[in-house]
């Protein structure tokens, strides 16, 4: 029987899970053991997991069907993405977002495995969107209640879809409400002119990413971190100038409601 050690990673979200052997776990065991922890803590940190590409894909498939992503992928499979950067650019904190919100069925789970890291920096910040919704000012909430928002994936490719989703979504497993707009993919609010819609999106994201809702993960090689895109936004911190290499998989969710 797998013996788990679970410790909180952050005050408002995040749990560190140790004592696993992901290579030998069956899909039913993965879901039975880890899904309740994910639903409670929203972000899981599993250290020391230097999985090969096929092993990472097998673990990811335990959570459901996988989505392809228009970003760079590895040669062996279209379902594992290679994310490689050297921290370039003026935006030292990458855009806050939930992955692929432009997709008709956006991911319910994203996972990243750290393969190569800079000597300093390169962390990722996560923000709990359930807590952000609970603390959302009433004058803003009243504008987003029952509102729909347009999301676009054309930043990746002109053939990517534009999709309409609720601006406040209900988690399909817990029933909790969460804010569901972001800066790179959410373009406007249905029924508002573009300027008013963009302003409301910006004010929502500024509220949703306040420090009291966040957890910063400082990576170590071999860390496997998975998070619930239905309840979490994240942003990379580009405070480094050496190569950072990650593998990523995204698990298909349902249409947000």
Residue 89 reports pLDDT greater than 60: no
**Considering only 30-39, 84-93, 119-128, 246-255, which range has the smallest mean pLDDT?**
84-93
Quote the percentage of the chain above a pLDDT of 90. Answer: 88
When the pLDDT of each residue in the chain is averaged and rounded to a whole number, the result is: 94
Helix (H) or strand (E) run with residue 130 in it: helix 129-134
Three-state secondary structure call for residue 246: strand
In the prediction, which pLDDT does 174 show?
97
Q: pLDDT tens for residues 97-115?
A: 999 999 999 999 999 999 9
Secondary structure string (H, E, C) spanning 174-224: CCCEEECCCCCCEEEECCCCHHHHHHHHHHHHHHHCCHHHEEEECCCCCCE
How far apart are the C-alpha atoms of 169 and 206, rounded to whole Å?
18
Confidence band, pLDDT 50/70/90 cuts, at residue 90: very low
Q: What's the CATH code, domain 5-88+105-128+214-252? A: 3.60.130.10
Nearest to 226 by CA among 90, 45, 50: 45
In the prediction, which pLDDT does 71 show?
82
- Domain residue spans of the chain: 5-88+105-128+214-252, 129-208
DSSP 55-73: HHHHHHHTTSPEEP-SS-B
Contacts of 187 (CB under 8 A, 6+ apart): 149, 150, 151, 152, 162, 197, 198
How far apart are the C-alpha atoms of 225 and 85, rounded to whole Å?
18
The 8-class DSSP code of residue 93 comes to B
How far apart are the C-alpha atoms of 3 and 64, rounded to whole Å?
24
The 8-class DSSP code of residue 143 comes to H
Residue 69 reports pLDDT greater than 60: yes
How far apart are the C-alpha atoms of 183 and 141, rounded to whole Å?
18
């Amino acid at each position: 029987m797998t013996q788990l050690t679970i410790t909180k990673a952050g005050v408002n979200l995040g749990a560190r899970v140790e004592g696993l052997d992901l290579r030998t776990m069956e899909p039913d065991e993965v879901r039975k053991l880890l899904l309740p922890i994910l639903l409670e803590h929203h972000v899981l940190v599993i250290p020391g997991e230097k999985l090969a590409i096929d092993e990472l894909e097998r673990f990811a498939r335990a959570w459901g069907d996988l989505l392809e992503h228009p970003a760079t992928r590895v040669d062996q499979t279209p379902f594992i993405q290679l994310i490689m950067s050297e921290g370039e650019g003026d935006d030292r904190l990458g855009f806050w977002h939930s992955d692929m919100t432009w997709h008709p069925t956006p991911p319910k789970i994203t996972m990243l495995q750290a393969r190569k890291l800079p000597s300093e920096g390169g962390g990722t910040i996560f923000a709990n969107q359930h807590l952000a919704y609970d603390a959302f000012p009433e004058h803003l909430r009243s504008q987003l209640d029952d509102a729909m928002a347009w999301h676009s994936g054309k930043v990746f490719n002109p053939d990517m879809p534009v999709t309409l989703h609720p601006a406040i979504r209900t988690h399909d497993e817990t029933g909790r409400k969460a804010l569901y707009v972001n800066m790179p993919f959410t373009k406007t609010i249905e029924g508002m002119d573009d300027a008013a819609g963009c302003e409301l999106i910006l004010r929502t994201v500024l509220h949703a990413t306040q420090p009291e809702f966040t957890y910063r993960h400082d990576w170590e090689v071999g860390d496997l971190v998975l998070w619930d895109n239905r309840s979490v936004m994240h942003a990379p911190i580009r405070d480094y100038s050496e190569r950072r290499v990650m593998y990523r998989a995204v698990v298909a969710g349902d249409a947000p409601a």
